[in-house]
Chains A and B, each alone.
Chain A
Amino acid sequence: MAGAGGFVEADNAEAIIARIETKSSKIESLLKQYKPVEALKTALEGSPPKTLDERCKSANWIVVHRALMAIKDIEGMLNALDVEYYDILMKYLYRGLSTGDRPTCDQCLKIHEKLTDRAGLGCILRCLTDTINTV
């Protein structure tokens, strides 16, 4: 199935990684301006769920992680985030929880609690059953 329409082949992965690099520098600048919510939005936008390439996913994860850890006001962040991003954010939260790293897990758990309040169990289920668009 690799290489079928919609899936990105290996040579396009370089293009995606380049895009992620530019995203990352934008996010760094947003964080310096104390705008963590904007940073997270930028990080989540254009997440490449359809690539099979692990490097793209890891690269995007690093960027999202950076933005996630900078968030202090979780309620405010969820208020500002559009509803379509809830599912993707939930997937990244689970990826964060799977790292086992103490500060990451603390932050992810806090966000997870609030996100489930808003998005419900359906969001978690979509994250668990979706084996094609993984992050």
Chain B
Amino acid sequence: MAVVDVHRFAESITCHAWSPDHSMFAFCPNNNEVHIYKSSQDHWEMLHVLEKHDQIVSGIDWSSKSNKIVTVSHDRNSYVWSLEGGEWVPTLVILRLNRAALCVQWSPKENKFAVGSGAKTVCICYYEQENNWWVSKLIRKRHESSVTNVAWHPNNVLLATTSTDGKCRVFSTFIKGVDTKDSKAGSPAESKFGEQILQLDLSYSWAFGVKWSPNGFYNTLSHFLRICNLCIGHSSMIYFVDDVGPSPLAQSVAFRDLPLRDVLFISEKMVIGVGYDSNPMIFAADDTGIWSFIKYIGEKKAESSSASYSSQFSEAFTKFYGVHDNCINSIVSLSKAGSPKVMRFSTSVRLDGKIAIWDLGNMQEEIGHQF
């Protein structure tokens, strides 16, 4: 088993985030508060309770370099919390939304963060030094429905979004004064804020998780970047998009079981998906670049990699070990900053209030050489 630690923190957990050194961890117990716990020896103790929102906190992200926490909530607001003298001090960020905020992520350089909302908009917030506050710029066009997930490209300018209208879009979030025009970054010189670079009509049903692969840059000379981007649809399909640019190539993998809610790139060629099956799934690309489903992480007996249509169905029905009892709704990487591969990650489940920490270190032979 790859599970290292399972802990039940509350009745229900909406979202979670880890501190930069992975010793502390913040989550929302399905109410308007954010609890921060610290791990000491064998147990977890509650350190702080951040209480400022009026409704459920739907997204938390903890920046690794500047140690700030950003929280967004169904009350259409967002707070950026900084640790001053042992206390977390909130700064309100006026997002100018008229619907709930659903997800948030710090950009790689941590000078911006993106918020997806039910108002069919994405807010990009950046810090204005002169006025000492966070300003929000909205991307209002294009989305036809709620934005469920956002993901920053490593170049700090491109943002991928998924929405309940079934599409995945990539926007440019270039902000004058915040992003420097760096021609080496490969982004097109004429990109302006909110310009949609690409729209991927992949799925007919709601789309959930989206992530970029770790190597955002391959070829800095080409006009558009070569990256692998993946997003998942509610119809038990996962889409891998290569070469995001004028002519993206998408591969869709239809898999046997219930849909996924969130995904994480473990390395350039391997992805872990979590969702309604309460058991993380591994997908990997072989040498020719074709992705396929490999196995579940918590499988009792060894599975051959052609896990196509054998009688895995009956095993999936018998609760294999019960780490998570319910739909896993988020997966967060716990790797050390700068390491190219993710060896540890944590998953949180809404309805059973558990957080599980998984370690892939001892699974290398089982997963195979792709890892």
Seen from chain A, the residues whose Cβ lies within 8 Å of a Cβ on chain B are: 83, 86-87, 116-123, 125-126, 128-133
Q: For B258, what are the chain A residues with a Cβ–Cβ distance below 8 Å?
A: 121-122, 125
B145 within 8 A of A: no
B193 within 8 A of A: no
Is A125 within 8 A of B259, CB to CB?
A: yes
Task: Give complex CA distance A75, B60 in Å.
Answer: 49
Is B236 within 8 A of A83, CB to CB?
A: no
Name the CB-closest residue of A to B205.
Answer: A129
Would A122 and B236 be within 8 Å (CB), given that A83-B308, A117-B311 are in contact?
Answer: yes
Task: Give complex CA distance A86, B236 in Å.
Answer: 14
Looking at the assembled complex, report how far the CB atom of B281 sits from the nearest CB atom of chain A, in whole angstroms: 11
Is A130 within 8 A of B204, CB to CB?
A: yes
Looking at the assembled complex, report how far the CB atom of B92 sits from the nearest CB atom of chain A, in whole angstroms: 39
Is B255 within 8 A of A122, CB to CB?
A: yes
Is B237 within 8 A of A123, CB to CB?
A: no
Q: For B308, what are the chain A residues with a Cβ–Cβ distance below 8 Å?
A: 83
CB-CB contacts of B219-250 with A at 8 A, as 1s and 0s?
Answer: 00000000000000111110000000000000
Interchain Cβ contacts under 8 Å between A and B, 12 examples:
A83-B309, A117-B311, A120-B312, A122-B236, A122-B258, A125-B236, A126-B236, A129-B233, A130-B204, A130-B205, A131-B204, A133-B204
Q: For A86, what are the chain B residues with a Cβ–Cβ distance below 8 Å?
A: 309
Chain B residues 248 to 264 lying within 8 A of chain A, measured CB to CB, are 254-259
Is A120 within 8 A of B234, CB to CB?
A: no
* Option from A119, A128, A131 in Cβ contact (under 8 Å) with B256: A119
Is A120 within 8 A of B313, CB to CB?
A: yes
Task: Give complex CA distance A122, B236 in Å.
Answer: 5
Looking at the assembled complex, report how far the CB atom of B258 sits from the nearest CB atom of chain A, in whole angstroms: 5
Is B309 within 8 A of A121, CB to CB?
A: no
Is B235 within 8 A of A120, CB to CB?
A: no
Is A132 within 8 A of B309, CB to CB?
A: no
Would A120 and B259 be within 8 Å (CB), given that A129-B204, A130-B204 are in contact?
Answer: no
Would A126 and B256 be within 8 Å (CB), given that A83-B309, A116-B313, A117-B313 are in contact?
Answer: no
Q: For B235, what are the chain A residues with a Cβ–Cβ distance below 8 Å?
A: 125-126, 128-130
Task: Give complex CA distance A98, B313 in Å.
Answer: 25
Name the CB-closest residue of A to B311.
Answer: A117
Seen from chain B, the residues whose Cβ lies within 8 Å of a Cβ on chain A are: 204-205, 233-237, 254-259, 308-309, 311-314, 316
Task: Give complex CA distance A23, B162 in Å.
Answer: 41
Is A123 within 8 A of B205, CB to CB?
A: no
Is A126 within 8 A of B309, CB to CB?
A: no
Q: For A87, what are the chain B residues with a Cβ–Cβ distance below 8 Å?
A: 254
Looking at the assembled complex, report how far the CB atom of B235 sits from the nearest CB atom of chain A, in whole angstroms: 4
* Option from B205, B257, B311 in Cβ contact (under 8 Å) with A122: B257
Q: For A116, what are the chain B residues with a Cβ–Cβ distance below 8 Å?
A: 313
Is B205 within 8 A of A120, CB to CB?
A: no
Is B254 within 8 A of A122, CB to CB?
A: yes
Tell which of A86, A116, A121, A130 has the most Cβ of chain B within 10 Å: A121
Q: For B254, what are the chain A residues with a Cβ–Cβ distance below 8 Å?
A: 87, 122-123, 126
Tell which of A83, A123, A125, A128 has the most Cβ of chain B within 10 Å: A125
Task: Give complex CA distance A125, B309 in Å.
Answer: 16
Would A118 and B309 be within 8 Å (CB), given that A125-B236, A126-B235, A126-B237 are in contact?
Answer: yes
Q: For A126, what are the chain B residues with a Cβ–Cβ distance below 8 Å?
A: 235-237, 254
Looking at the assembled complex, report how far the CB atom of A7 sits from the nearest CB atom of chain B, in whole angstroms: 14
* Option from B233, B237, B256 in Cβ contact (under 8 Å) with A120: B256
Task: Give complex CA distance A120, B255 in Å.
Answer: 8
Is B256 within 8 A of A123, CB to CB?
A: yes
Looking at the assembled complex, report how far the CB atom of B119 sits from the nearest CB atom of chain A, in whole angstroms: 24
Name the CB-closest residue of B to A120.
Answer: B256
Looking at the assembled complex, report how far the CB atom of A75 sits from the nearest CB atom of chain B, in whole angstroms: 13
